[in-house]
Structure 1
């Protein structure tokens, strides 16, 4: 296990997580510092705002992607941050996915969205240090087993020093967030009342699954979360939950048995949005990644 790079599940929250300090943002920076200290080779990330239709999955191959605008955040926080697409690794990911039976292809028109570059900016505030990054789409059918298999297909890259990240949400239902306190106080963390019971219950279920299971059991338990009684309350749409399954695939091999996730930070936002940050494994302590 010492030769494997870790896997992160980051709940990116709202766009305002780029503009305001938080415990979650502090952990993203720490995770970035640890990756750089270990000599990370590159980052492979699945977000929550890009999906491919039919049976397909796509990999970003745009050599000069633009950034989608970020609401509620001043452009100075992100507009001039250069993106570093990793085209050679993108082709390797396509090959691995095709080898696993996926209808995978490159997308040379895709522009990056805040769910990915928001996290990268927080992890590597100095753009010169940001590793080359490869983005993987979701599939629009949001099949849990499909997305576990995607993570499993890309898992071998962990042995080469690639950091795999799923950027989604533990509890992410925009329709059930409370926006008035944010508008009243200009503070996305303003909380006039506690989170509602459905949000607390599903948040606890996510923690239990990710921290009490490992190996193939992690994969099975993660897929079962979509059958939880509070799942649809916590996720009105499935897109932000696919990162959980992608991560379970990347961190749920037989070789990963005994390595469960750890809850490293958490930020409640807009009353009912829970931005939990989990990490599976760790970088080798004795030497940089080759």
Structure 2
């Protein structure tokens, strides 16, 4: 089996589930063109745990971890199966890399996981495992976490980091106004840096990227990009999709495919 690519997707606001826009259509087209994975392993900033954890429930619930949105959003579900057997394989792979992790048999899928998956695999018939991020890990730590899982790509695992290319909710605009200049500058720097294959610069983005602290007052929504990049292994090339989709003037919905 040829190894699958890894993905970084922006899940934006929970309203993405009801408003697919460019990103929803392009994610669907992307996964239509990929080989069918055996399992999806996804990381989201909405599960930060003090120790690395992996969902192991056979039927993970759909978690509606948000408030104040239309009723229709709370009626959505993503009933994908889990896989205790794949969870054990993930834990064993992490252990081989020296990373101690924990099986969580009660945790479901938060909106950072299920919202983009509704577009990517709408039939919800592929097992999904979610892996937690760590509140005190750096970008480099999360890169190494993804790197530890890279061998699973050869076994049919699609590894996905779900975050947001820009994420400053203090600048949220409900009118879908024009894209703010700093959002474009930051997104273009990420695209240029990935095109150059400059992993060191990406991991040091807070010091090197324009408007980094404005685009990400805190790291958590960009850490899934580091995770996905690590899982890509060596000799990857980055393909950008949905680069024209910016929500509320400040949420860039860019996604990346790391191919070989």
TM > 0.5 fold call: yes
Partner of 1:29: 28
TM-score normalised over the length of structure 2: 0.91
* Structure 2 unpaired stretches of 5+: none
- Say which of 201, 206, 227 aligns to 1:226: 206
- Which of the pair has more CA radius of gyration? 1
TM-score normalised over the length of structure 1: 0.82
Partner of 1:268: 246
1:123 maps to 2:120? yes
The CA distance in 2 between the partners of 1:21 and 1:32, in whole Å, is 15
Partner of 1:241: 222
- Say which of 174, 178, 181 aligns to 1:197: 181
Cα contact 2:6–2:229 (8 A) shared by 1: no
State the 1:248 CA deviation: 1.4
State the 1:76 CA deviation: 6.8
Q: CA deviation digits over 1:207-265, x for unaligned, max 9? A: 1122221xxx43x23201132352110112211111111011012x3xx32x3211122
Q: Could you say what secondary structure the match of 2:242 adopts? A: strand
Partner of 1:287: none
Name the CA shift for 1:87/1:31 in 2 (closer, same or farther; >3 Å).
farther
Partner of 1:286: none
1:65 maps to 2:79? no
- Say which of 153, 170, 173 aligns to 1:158: 153
Structure 1 segment 1-290 matched on structure 2, within 5 A: 3-35=2-34, 38-53=35-50, 56-69=51-64, 71=67, 72-75=69-72, 79-127=76-124, 130-179=125-174, 181=175, 190-191=176-177, 194-213=178-197, 217-218=198-199, 220-227=200-207, 228-251=209-232, 253=233, 256-257=234-235, 259-266=236-243, 267-281=245-259
Aligned residues: 256
Cα contact 1:151–1:246 (8 A) shared by 2: yes
The CA distance in 2 between the partners of 1:116 and 1:78, in whole Å, is 16
Q: CA deviation digits over 1:126-166, x for unaligned, max 9? A: 23xx3111111001113111101111000011112211111
* Structure 1 unpaired stretches of 5+: 182-189, 283-290
